[in-house]
């Protein structure tokens, strides 16, 4: 359903309405309105869900297009400001994202990658061809450079092992090279000779990637057999390994059930994480879409909710105690080519406000399932799909999605609590059919005295007045509490940050007045908001 007034008019009317001059005029559901509709959120402080692992705010860097070469690695002799060859601006920004994990070297690349190609003197490393499309891989960025990148960012590494074209022996030797204490084994000596006395202590290991596709085109049963071979008798060298098995393409329950049926047949190989990948795709174009396509895109992103509950239930049929958690190690929007900043950057896309809302509603979904999701990695960190950053030579910009991750940081390590939302749905049309999408959704968490509520307001044209009630907190705790509101929005749904105009979509913060137990706030159309309380 198309709006009847422009977003600019709606925003002007909203500021009037927020000042108290409310018009009584009512419009049909899903259309622009003069009166901000009243919506309500209750934060149920005594209904805990679980601790939000900081790792659900994690990232992915693959040897593909411009992610590693140009995005992360500019080379030691580059004019681009760098630390030992690693782009300094990227490090400075990733440091702002909290205790996150970075996955590497793929993706599809991981199942073609032989880790020994990327160690030792840089000028002696082999050049390989065609590992992700027809390009040469210089191997200038390998295990030590990736570890340096993680250390500089304060991030934890997550390595993806090669099941497609590698062997269990090659995988187990990589673990040994990374984790064996100095002088313990020949591979540990080699690591020391290559400059790293201390073991890397890598906990997270993915055993194959998209094994139903580019990772070997296995059946779930065949992949399960390979998984067993790769993980049998795998020494940890004192590091508690967290092993991740390749889950389905999206919410394919057949892959999950067949893998786990095989898994229970005989030997239950060690698995800590199950990794479905979900790309919500696109509607229209990265920067050109109708209001209907705006809603349809967000609706597709919102299918993560169903994926989590379905996959969790399917795993539970075999792992009744739910020891295995979900690791959504690739997710995000995937738009058609055309907005690359550099044609060599495969899959690079310009992320706009719509991508920011898709990211925010997905992070809220993960928070609401904090008991099920151990890690999630948006694809990919820089110069690719749904990226937080775009970089080309010495130019660098943070996308609106970066601001979402930074806004949501207070949730990391906090205890998720339930919220109840009362709001009408928004109607839209997709493929000629009437559909609906939530108008307001979010998540809340508590860490010490800090209460954080994040909200995504999807209405493309109308503002909303939201009443927020804190339930299950004593008046004494809430009294005197300050409330701050941070909002990310823009008048244009396709607003984005560019090298020339990097601050087009930026969060804005203000204090909210009123009773902390029952506060009202106005959310602009198409916005993401964070509200912070400091409880007494």
Q: Known catalytic residues?
A: 210, 330
Instruction: Pick between residue 380 and residue 412 the one whose CB is nearest to ligand AHR.
Output: 380
Q: Is 531 helix (H, G, I), strand (E, B) or coil?
A: strand
Residues 6+ apart with CB under 8 A from 271: 227, 231, 243, 244, 245, 263, 324
Q: Evaluate whether 326 touches 276 at the Cβ level (below 8 Å).
A: yes
Neighbours of 473 (CB within 10 A): 20
Choices 11-19, 102-110, 165-173, 231-239 (CB under 6 A): range interacting with ligand AHR:
102-110
The closest of 426, 445, 446, 451 to 436, measured between CA atoms, is 426
Q: Does 161 bind ligand AHR (CB under 6 A)?
A: no
CB of 250 or CB of 413, closer to ligand AHR: 250
Q: Is 378 in the site for ligand AHR (CB under 6 A)?
A: no
Q: Please state the three-class secondary structure of 270-288 as a single string.
A: CCCEEEEEEEEECCCCCCC
Q: How far is the CB of 304 from ligand AHR (least distance, A)?
A: 16
Rank residues 72 and 505 by Cβ distance to ligand AHR and give the closer one. Answer: 72
Judged by CB under 6 A, does residue 314 bind ligand AHR? no
Cβ–Cβ under 8 Å, residues 139 and 95 = no
3-state secondary structure 150-185: HHHHCCEEEEEECCCCCCHHHHHHHHHHHHCCCCCC
Distance of alpha carbon 348 from alpha carbon 336, whole angstroms: 9
Which range touches ligand AHR (CB under 6 A), out of 95-103, 105-113, 392-400, 488-496? 105-113
In the bound state with ligand AHR, the residue whose beta carbon lies nearer, of 108 and 388, is 108
Site of tokens 């960012």: 153
- Shortest distance (Å) from residue 217 CB to ligand AHR: 13
- By beta-carbon distance, which residue lies closest to ligand AHR? 107
CB contact at 8 A, 365 and 378: no
CB nearer to ligand AHR: give 64 or 528. Answer: 64
Candidate segments 100-108, 237-245, 361-369, 493-501, binder of ligand AHR by CB under 6 A: 100-108
Q: Does 251 bind ligand AHR (CB under 6 A)?
A: no
- Half-sphere exposure of residue 290: CA atoms within 13 angstroms, side-chain side: 10
Q: Does 454 bind ligand AHR (CB under 6 A)?
A: no
- Which residues partner with 331 through β-bridges? 278, 378
Q: Taking Cα atoms as reference points, which of 359, 332, 368 lies closest to residue 453?
A: 368
- Mutual angle of helices 168-179 and 186-193, in 10-degree steps: 60
Phi then psi dihedrals of residue 517, to 5 deg: -75, -20
107, 220, 463, 524: which one contacts ligand AHR (CB under 6 A)? 107
Q: Site map for ligand AHR, 316-355, x if CB under 6 A?
A: --------------x-------------------------
> In this chain, which of 196, 380, 461, 485 binds ligand AHR, going by CB under 6 A?
380
Rounded CA separation 513/483 (Å):
7
For ligand AHR (CB under 6 A), the number of binding residues is: 11
- In the shown chain, the binding pattern of residues 195 to 224 toward ligand AHR, with x for contact by CB under 6 A and - for none, equals --------------xx--------------
Q: What would the x/- binding string for ligand AHR be over residues 57 to 86, using CB under 6 A?
A: -----x-x----------------------
Cα 41 from chain centroid? 25
Taking the complex as a whole, how short is the minimal distance between the CB of residue 360 and ligand AHR, in angstroms?
A: 20
Q: How far apart are CA 239 and CA 169, in angstroms?
A: 19
Residue range at the interface with ligand AHR (CB under 6 A); choices 217-225, 378-386, 457-465, 476-484? 378-386
Q: Are 160 and 242 in contact (CB under 8 A)?
A: no
Shortest distance, position 61 Cβ to ligand AHR, whole Å: 10
Query: Looking at 36, 105, 106, 216, which residue binds ligand AHR (CB under 6 A)?
Result: 106
Write the DSSP assignment of 314-362 as a string of letters.
Answer: HHHTT-TT--SEEEEEEEEE-PPSS--SSTTSTT----BHHHHHHHHHH
Q: Is 414 in the site for ligand AHR (CB under 6 A)?
A: no
Q: Name the minimum Å distance from CB 66 to ligand AHR.
A: 13
Q: Report the residue count for the chain.
A: 536
Query: Minimum distance between the CB of residue 43 and ligand AHR, rounded to whole angstroms?
Result: 35
Out of 102, 108, 224, 363, point to the residue binding ligand AHR (CB under 6 A).
108
Contact 304, 356 (CB under 8 A): no
The region of 12-20, 104-112, 176-184, 238-246 touching ligand AHR under the rule CB under 6 A is: 104-112
Query: Rule CB under 6 A: is residue 305 a binding residue for ligand AHR?
Result: no
Q: Which residues of the shown chain bind ligand AHR in the complex (CB under 6 A)?
A: 62, 64, 106-108, 209-210, 330, 379-380, 385
């Amino acid at each position: 359903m198309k709006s009847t007034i422009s977003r600019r008019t709606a925003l002007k009317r909203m500021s009037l309405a927020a000042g108290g001059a409310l018009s009584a005029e009512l419009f049909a559901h899903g259309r622009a309105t003069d009166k901000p509709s009243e919506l309500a959120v209750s934060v149920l402080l005594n209904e805990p869900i679980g601790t939000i692992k900081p790792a659900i705010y994690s990232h992915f860097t693959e040897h593909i297009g411009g992610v590693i070469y140009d995005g992360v690695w500019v080379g030691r002799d580059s004019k681009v400001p760098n630390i030992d060859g690693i782009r300094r601006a990227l490090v400075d920004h990733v440091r702002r994202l909290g205790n996150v994990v970075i996955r590497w070297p793929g993706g599809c690349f991981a199942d073609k990658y032989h880790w020994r190609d990327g160690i030792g003197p840089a000028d002696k490393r082999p050049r390989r061809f065609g590992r992700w499309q027809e390009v040469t891989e210089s191997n200038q960025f390998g295990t030590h450079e990736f570890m340096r990148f993680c250390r500089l960012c304060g991030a934890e590494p997550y390595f993806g092992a090669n099941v497609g074209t590698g062997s269990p022996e090659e995988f187990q030797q990589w673990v040994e090279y990374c984790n064996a204490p100095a002088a313990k084994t020949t591979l540990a000596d080699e690591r020391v000779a290559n400059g790293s006395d201390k073991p890397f202590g890598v906990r997270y290991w993915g055993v194959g990637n998209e094994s139903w596709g580019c990772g070997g085109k296995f059946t779930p049963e065949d992949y399960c057999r390979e998984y067993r071979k790769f993980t049998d008798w795998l020494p940890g060298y004192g590091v508690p390994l967290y092993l991740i098995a390749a889950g389905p393409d999206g919410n394919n329950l057949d892959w999950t059930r067949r893998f786990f049926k095989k898994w229970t047949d005989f030997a239950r190989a060690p698995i800590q994480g199950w990794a479905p990948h979900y790309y919500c795709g696109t509607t229209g174009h990265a920067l050109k879409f109708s209001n209907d396509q705006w809603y349809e895109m967000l609706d597709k992103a919102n299918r993560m909710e169903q994926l989590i509950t379905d996959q969790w239930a399917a795993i539970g049929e075999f792992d009744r105690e739910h020891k295995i958690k979900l690791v959504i190690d690739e997710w995000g929007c995937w738009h058609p080519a055309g907005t690359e900043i550099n044609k060599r950057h495969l899959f690079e896309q310009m992320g706009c406000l719509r991508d920011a809302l898709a990211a925010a509603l997905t992070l809220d979904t993960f928070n609401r399932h904090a008991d099920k999701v151990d890690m999630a990695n948006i694809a990919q960190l820089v110069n690719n799909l749904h990226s937080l950053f775009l970089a080309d030579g010495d130019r660098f910009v943070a996308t609106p999605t970066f601001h979402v991750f930074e806004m949501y940081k207070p949730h990391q390590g906090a205890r998720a609590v339930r919220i109840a939302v009362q709001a009408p749905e928004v109607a839209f049309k997709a493929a000629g059919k009437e559909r609906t999408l939530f108008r307001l959704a979010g998540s809340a968490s508590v860490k010490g005295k800090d209460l954080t509520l994040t909200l995504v307001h999807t209405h493309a044209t109308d503002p909303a007045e939201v009443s927020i009630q804190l339930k299950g907190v004593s008046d004494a705790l809430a009294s005197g509490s300050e409330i701050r509101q941070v909002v990310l929005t823009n008048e244009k749904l396709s607003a984005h940050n560019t090298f020339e105009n990097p601050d087009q979509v930026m969060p804005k913060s203000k204090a909210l007045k009123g009773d902390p137990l029952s506060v009202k706030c106005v959310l602009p159309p198409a916005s993401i908001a964070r509200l912070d309380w400091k409880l007494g």
